[in-house]
Amino acid sequence: MKVMLVGGGGREHAIAWSIARRHPAVEIVAAPGNPGLAQLGRCVPVPVSELSKLLDLARAERPALVIVGPEAPLAAGIVDVFRADGIPVFGPTRAAARIESSKAFSKQLMLDAGVPTARAERHTTVDGALHAIRTFGVPVVIKASGLAAGKGVSVCASTEDADRAVVAMLSGKAFGDAGSEILVEEFMEGEELSLFVITDGTTAIPMLPAQDHKRLLDGDRGPNTGGMGAYAPVSIATESLVHETMERVIAPTLAALRVRGTPFTGLLYAGLMIGERGPRVVEFNARFGDPETEAILPLLESDLLAPLLAVARGEPLAGGALRWQDAHAVTTVVAAPGYPDAPRTGAAITLPPPAPGVSVFHAGTAKDASGALVVGGGRVFAVTAIANTLVAAQRASADTAAAIRFEGRQFRSDIGRRELTRNARAPGD
């Protein structure tokens, strides 16, 4: 069997690693891939933005399954193009992917479906958005409606900060066309949680919930990023909470998309805020999240390939709940200097020897003209450690992150800090 992966980051490396671990005979082709993926299969230098070239590659390779990692090709309609050519592809159509590519669309979908979420207003003019800020009060959240690589969100504690965010997005084009439409949104109190579900459009199978760390620096300080680390499992994600989320969030969302004639197939990612009012949706993504994927998949005991194949072939999902290892995973992202605003690439990388229970997923690496490993993107590695306790997993992940050497590297040493604080407060722990 041959599997084609579209993408070249840590998420795609982790997906390929998970498939290869259980199915070593599967041939993996990645476009464009990265040096880590090249250790598991064959990389072809086709950019994710070149849909026609990706289609040509798929026609030549004829994979049994195509898995699309990043959001941009999904928003551009890669699934529609591949399906029209009879190629089995895991992911939503362009119309269904609007649940991520347009926050305004997603918000209206949730409101129409009665899905719990924050109150928000859509704006395309500075004056209208500034007036909305004063109506909502602070703290307030300003979001670019389009795709902004996970960075188009400003949580503003003051009116002045909110005003600056609005002007930067609508007038300053801080996020390009993605910020030509924005949401002014109610600030939600609570703790964030990421829940992935694999779905055929009707049936949905939840994966292990994880918690992402968006801020650049320890203690949740600094600017928002695409994600500086994640851990799983999360104690607040009880069985009852997951069940409530499936009933109040996932089921009505999938139903609303079916009613619109745009059923969602693939991986639906619900970014949740867990507070006194129960789970409320912060945002939806239309694909595997990064870096949560790198934390979750090493704990998966079930076969990942089977449900992805079923969805890609248009078959109904079967087989029930997924099985997970009784252990803890911590993923620490190692980022380039200047990330997230202006990452500097090209620095030579020195990797430590492999450590037991630790996987180093390549997220933004490249090879220079001499074949040496160098920094090639903003988030360079995702270092995942598995251990019997969260403390041990965090220590092993941070230790390996610290042992990766390149000039100006950045990483957080406190991934899982909320969970560790909860554990320290629990009597007898």
For residue 178, the model assigns a pLDDT of 82
- The structure tokens listed for 90 are 């895991």
Residues 302, 196 share a domain: yes
55 & 145 share domain: no
Whether residue 277 is found in the same domain as residue 200: yes
pLDDT at 299: 98
C-alpha distance from residue 28 to each of 3, 69, 81, 159, 328 (Å): 5, 14, 21, 50, 28
Q: pLDDT value at position 427?
A: 57
Q: Please, what is the average pLDDT of the chain?
A: 95
The yes-or-no verdict on residue 337 having pLDDT over 90 is: yes
Number of domains in the chain: 4
Does 342 lie in the same domain as 267? no
Question: How would you write 36-82 as a 3-class SS string?
Answer: CHHHCCEECCCCCCCHHHHHHHHHHHCCCEEEECCHHHHHHCHHHHH
What 3-state class would DSSP assign to 241?
Answer: helix
Give the end of a domain, one of 145, 180, 215.
180
Please tell me the predicted confidence (pLDDT) of residue 318. 86
User: 408 and 336 in one domain?
Assistant: yes
Between 366 and 171, the more confident residue is 366
Supply the pLDDT for residue 150: 67
H-helix or E-strand containing 11? helix 10-22
Q: Is the pLDDT of residue 152 over 90?
A: no
Q: Are 161 and 268 in a shared domain? A: no
Q: Angle formed by the axes of helices 126-136 and 159-170, to 10°?
A: 150
pLDDT at 428 over 60: no
DSSP letter at 309 equals H
Q: Tell me which residue of 73, 85, 59 sits closest to 9, measured CA to CA.
A: 73
Decide: 142 and 123 in contact? Cβ < 8 Å.
no
DSSP letter for 115, please. -
> Are 296 and 201 contained in the same domain?
yes
Neighbouring-strand partners of residue 185: 120, 141
**Biggest alpha carbon–alpha carbon distance for the chain:** 60
Q: What are the backbone dihedrals phi and psi of residue 264, each rounded to the nearest 5 degrees, phi first?
A: -95, 120
- For 292-334, the pLDDT digits (tens) are 999 999 999 999 999 999 999 999 998 789 999 999 999 999 9
Alpha carbons within 13 A on the beta-carbon side of 311: 30
| Tens-place pLDDT, residues 390-407 | 999 999 999 999 999 999
- Provide the pLDDT for residue 153: 87
> What confidence tens digit (pLDDT) does each residue in 232-268 have?
999 999 999 999 999 999 999 999 999 999 999 999 9
pLDDT surpasses 90 at 222: yes
Q: CATH number of the domain that 214 lies in? A: 3.30.470.20
Percent of the chain with pLDDT over 90: 92
Q: Is the pLDDT confidence value at 67 over 90?
A: yes
| 206 and 303 fall within a common domain | yes
For 410, the domain range is 328-425
319 falls within a domain = no
Q: Is 291's pLDDT higher than 60?
A: yes
46 and 28 share one domain: yes
Q: Do 397 and 385 meet the contact criterion of CB atoms below 8 Å apart?
A: yes
User: Residues 332, 290: one domain?
Assistant: no
pLDDT the model gives residue 172:
86
Domain annotation covers residue 117: no
| The pLDDT of residue 429 | 43
Q: Say if 25 falls within a structural domain.
A: yes
- Give the per-residue pLDDT at 27: 98
**Domain end: 114, 149, 180, which one?**
180
* Confidence check: pLDDT of 284 > 60: yes
The share of the chain scoring above pLDDT 70, in percent, equals 99
Provide φ and ψ at 111, rounded to 5°.
-65, -45
- Return the higher-pLDDT residue of 28 and 145: 28
Average of per-residue pLDDT across 138-152? 86
H/E segment holding residue 22: helix 10-22
Asked if residue 407 is part of any domain, the answer here is yes
Sign of the torsion angle spanned by Cα atoms 304, 309, 310, 314: positive
Strand partners of residue 285 = 269
